[in-house]
């Protein structure tokens, strides 16, 4: 904990100070498995789905950080050396609008009940947030990442598994780059590792002059096909973004996200002293989502031995909302690849006893299970085991591109 406190002080004085690791982090490889079909999106299009969650077990906290208060909600308490699951939402949303559908999914609850879960709301984005005063300077994307160690320290987390969407994925990736020892794994949905160029900046400004803020944000969240179809889901989010999130605060967050810098990551071996995410990463994007190109580019910049790329069919711009079943199944196998094993209740089975959920930390092996890319029909590939040697790692590309 002393080391963490020292890092926070360093970050306050010099935000992007490089933090080195004492020794190499062990390589761990997610195992590729076939995915289950998700629920039909029609079941999720009622606006009440997003906000009427069972919140009786959740506790709210406002945590002091070097860059102001941060609102978080937490369920459970730290369990030994087990990491906490920490989420960060996309711009235009808050933790409820972004994650309620996913975390309320029955099979996901079977997983998360074995972890402490912490949802982080970006400053001023939570339900009922007061408007920031005139002249308030919204934290930069780097500063948003610098606020998270205060959350980790406040609750006594040893490390986290982060789940981020869009702007939240960028924040968690930046956090993992600065504090790699605090992050055991990342699920990054719709991440764009690139800063805005002048053309993008001008287009955003023009859009702001011709469209309302909720409609501008919707073009960031949903695919063009979804927007043209104006589905009930899009209509519901338009209403929720306009009514639930404070518009002045949202505008500040939106402006800061569009002023972000490049994430500054490169695949090891491509440039001298390349920086990249050292933990296992699962990249997720829906087909035809506005973030698709950004996620593909992010995949090209990460270590292929620890990266899983999941492209989800029929999920649009918000896969955690439209396909919670598929995403839950993928997350389960991602956890297995990091040394956890989940036995989930399967509602498709009838008769006979089904093992209740259990999650057990396994001893980390010095070997890695390597799998070939998924076939089109989703059949389970044959796995082979290689020793963790630099020779073997240099010859095999382990990035798994899965369409489901």
Instruction: Give which of 254, 294, 292 is closest to 91, Cα–Cα.
Output: 254
Instruction: Give which of 51, 150, 139 is closest to 93, Cα–Cα.
Output: 51
Q: What angle do CA 387, 393, 395 make, to 5 degrees?
A: 120
Residues 6+ apart with CB under 8 A from 296: 285, 309
Instruction: Give which of 317, 316, 366 is closest to 339, Cα–Cα.
Output: 366
* Extended strands (E) in 3-94: 59-65, 68-75, 84-88
Task: Taking residues 364-368, report their average pLDDT.
Answer: 32
Provide, rounded to the nearest whole percent, the portion of the chain with pLDDT above 90.
58
* pLDDT score for 80: 79
* pLDDT score for 90: 98
Q: Which two tokens stand for residue 392?
A: 């073997």
* pLDDT score for 274: 83
**280 vs 202 pLDDT, higher one:** 280
Is 60 exceeded by the pLDDT of residue 144?
A: yes
Instruction: List Cα–Cα distances, 35 to 283, 313, 328, 370, 402, in angstroms.
Output: 15, 12, 9, 18, 10
Q: Which two tokens stand for residue 212?
A: 């309302």
* pLDDT score for 197: 59
**263 vs 11 pLDDT, higher one:** 263
* pLDDT score for 79: 77
> What does pTM read for this prediction?
0.76
Is 50 exceeded by the pLDDT of residue 50?
A: no
* pLDDT score for 376: 29
Enter the DSSP assignment of 72. E
Sheet holding 68-75, edge to edge: 59-65, 68-75, 117-121, 84-88, 160-165, 183-189, 281-286, 307-312, 400-403
* pLDDT score for 401: 52
* pLDDT score for 287: 87
């Amino acid at each position: 904990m002393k080391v963490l406190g020292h890092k926070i002080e360093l970050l306050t004085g010099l935000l992007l100070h490089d933090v080195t690791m004492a020794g190499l982090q062990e390589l761990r490889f997610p195992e590729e498995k076939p995915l289950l079909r998700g629920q039909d999106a029609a079941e999720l299009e009622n606006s009440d789905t997003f906000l009427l969650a069972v919140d009786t077990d959740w506790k709210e906290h406002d945590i002091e950080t070097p860059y102001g208060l941060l609102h978080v909600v937490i369920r459970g308490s730290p369990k030994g050396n087990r990491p906490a699951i920490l989420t960060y939402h996309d711009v235009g949303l808050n933790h409820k609008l972004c994650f309620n559908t996913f975390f309320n999914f029955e099979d996901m609850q079977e997983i998360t009940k074995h972890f402490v879960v912490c949802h982080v709301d970006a400053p001023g984005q939570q339900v009922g947030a007061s408007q920031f005063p005139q002249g308030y300077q919204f934290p930069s994307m780097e500063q948003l990442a610098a606020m998270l160690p205060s959350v980790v320290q406040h609750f006594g987390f040893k490390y986290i598994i982060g789940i981020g969407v869009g702007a939240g994925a960028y924040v968690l990736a930046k956090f993992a780059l600065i504090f790699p020892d605090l992050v055991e794994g990342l699920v990054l949905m719709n991440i764009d590792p690139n800063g805005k160029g002048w053309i993008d900046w001008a287009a955003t400004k023009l859009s702001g002059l011709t469209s309302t803020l909720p409609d501008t944000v919707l073009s960031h969240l949903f695919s063009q096909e979804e927007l043209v179809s104006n589905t009930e889901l899009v209509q519901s989010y338009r209403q929720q973004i306009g009514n639930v999130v404070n518009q002045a605060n949202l505008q500040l967050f939106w402006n800061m996200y569009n002023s972000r810098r490049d994430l500054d990551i490169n695949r090891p071996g491509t440039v001298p002293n390349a920086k990249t995410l050292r933990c296992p990463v699962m990249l997720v994007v829906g087909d035809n989502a506005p973030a698709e190109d950004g996620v593909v580019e992010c995949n090209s910049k990460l270590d292929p031995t620890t990266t899983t790329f999941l492209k989800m069919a029929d999920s649009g711009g918000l896969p955690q909302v439209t396909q919670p079943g598929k995403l839950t199944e993928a997350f389960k196998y991602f956890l297995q690849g990091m040394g956890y094993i989940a036995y989930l209740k399967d509602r498709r089975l009838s008769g006979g006893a089904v093992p209740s959920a259990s999650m057990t930390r396994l001893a980390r092996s010095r070997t890695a299970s390597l799998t070939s890319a998924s076939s089109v029909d989703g059949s389970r590939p044959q796995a082979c085991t290689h020793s963790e040697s630099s020779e073997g790692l240099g010859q095999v590309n382990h990035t798994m591109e899965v369409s489901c």
